[in-house]
């Protein structure tokens, strides 16, 4: 009960650091989820409904990347964007954009794999009906997208959940810098390492509340699509 009271106190009386942490968390999570969906949903639909040589291999690679460990993704991005790396001249290390890049690397395969499964499950019946109605290829794809829309909302929510809860990659490339790249998960880890478990649990409760508030409108939209 004390932890809940402290979480409520922090929410009602946020200091400058907590405000920055929440803001950075939301910016990072929404951008990484949005970019991952823009990349992953079309690729997933193409993989799910398409019939082409090498499809099975691509699906296996995608499914393997869905389990990519966060620290490995962070290490890959770190090696690419560090000072002596191929993209070091961009000077993105220990910034919010590099954290978004690391998360896109993590989330895009998840979005692609799940949307491929959703599209593949419905494509045969929907496309057969669409051809019977003599719809063009573009209209067939549009019909498939509309039918799979509720599943796509769930996939986006899953991507957002992975983004907002991730700690390994963002800690590695972001550096957990106060008032710059510190987010909820890295702040919880820091407070735990300091032994301040009361504040760490309070931050965890706030993180869960943020996730809940983000899910409510998405679930409402999903119900309207059914």
pLDDT of 94 higher than 70: yes
Q: Which pLDDT belongs to residue 222?
A: 63
Farthest CA pair distance, the chain = 66
The class of domain 2-225 in CATH terms is mainly alpha
Lowest-confidence pick of 48-57, 93-102, 151-160, 214-223: 214-223
Lowest-confidence pick of 69-73, 98-102, 142-146, 193-197: 142-146
pLDDT of 137 higher than 80: no
Nearest to 151 by CA among 114, 126, 108, 112: 114
| Cβ-proximal residues to 31 (8 Å cutoff; 6+ apart), any chain | 100
133: helix, strand or coil? coil
Kindly list the domain boundaries of the chain, sorted by start residue: 2-225
In the numeric block, which tokens belong to residue 47? 């993989």
Tens digits of residue pLDDT in 44-86:
988 887 777 888 888 899 989 999 999 999 999 999 999 898 9
108: helix, strand or coil? helix
Q: Which pLDDT belongs to residue 226?
A: 62
Mean pLDDT in residue range 3-30: 85
Tens digits of residue pLDDT in 165-212:
888 899 999 999 999 999 999 999 999 999 888 888 888 888 888 888
Mean pLDDT (the chain) is 86
Q: Which pLDDT belongs to residue 96?
A: 95
Q: Which pLDDT belongs to residue 170?
A: 93
Lowest-confidence pick of 102-111, 141-150, 151-160, 204-213: 141-150
Q: Measured between alpha carbons, how far is 25 from 187 in angstroms, rounded to an integer?
A: 10
Q: Measured between alpha carbons, how far is 49 from 124 in angstroms, rounded to an integer?
A: 8
Lowest-confidence pick of 24-28, 118-122, 173-177, 197-201: 118-122
Name, of 10-14, 70-74, 124-128, 203-207, the range with top average pLDDT.
Answer: 70-74
Q: Which pLDDT belongs to residue 135?
A: 64
């Amino acid at each position: 009960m004390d932890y809940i009271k402290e979480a409520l106190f922090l929410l009602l009386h946020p200091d400058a650091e907590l405000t920055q942490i929440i803001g950075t968390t939301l910016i990072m999570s929404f951008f990484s989820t949005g970019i991952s969906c823009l990349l992953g949903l079309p690729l997933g639909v193409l993989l799910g409904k398409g019939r082409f040589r090498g499809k099975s291999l691509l699906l296996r690679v995608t499914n393997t990347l869905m389990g990519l460990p966060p620290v490995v993704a962070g290490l890959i991005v770190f090696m690419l964007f560090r000072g002596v790396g191929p993209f070091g001249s961009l000077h993105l290390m220990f910034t919010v954009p590099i954290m978004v890049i690391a998360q896109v690397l993590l989330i895009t395969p998840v979005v692609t794999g799940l949307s491929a499964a959703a599209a593949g499950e419905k494509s045969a019946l929907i496309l057969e009906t669409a051809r019977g109605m003599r719809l063009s290829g573009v209209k067939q794809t549009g019909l498939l997208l509309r039918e799979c829309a509720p599943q796509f909302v769930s996939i986006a929510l899953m991507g957002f959940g992975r983004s907002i809860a991730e700690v390994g990659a963002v800690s590695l490339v972001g550096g957990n810098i106060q008032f710059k790249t510190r987010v909820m998960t890295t702040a919880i880890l820091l407070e735990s390492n300091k032994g301040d478990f009361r504040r760490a649990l309070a931050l965890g409760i706030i993180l869960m509340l943020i996730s809940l508030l983000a899910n409510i409108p998405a679930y409402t939209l999903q119900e309207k699509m059914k």
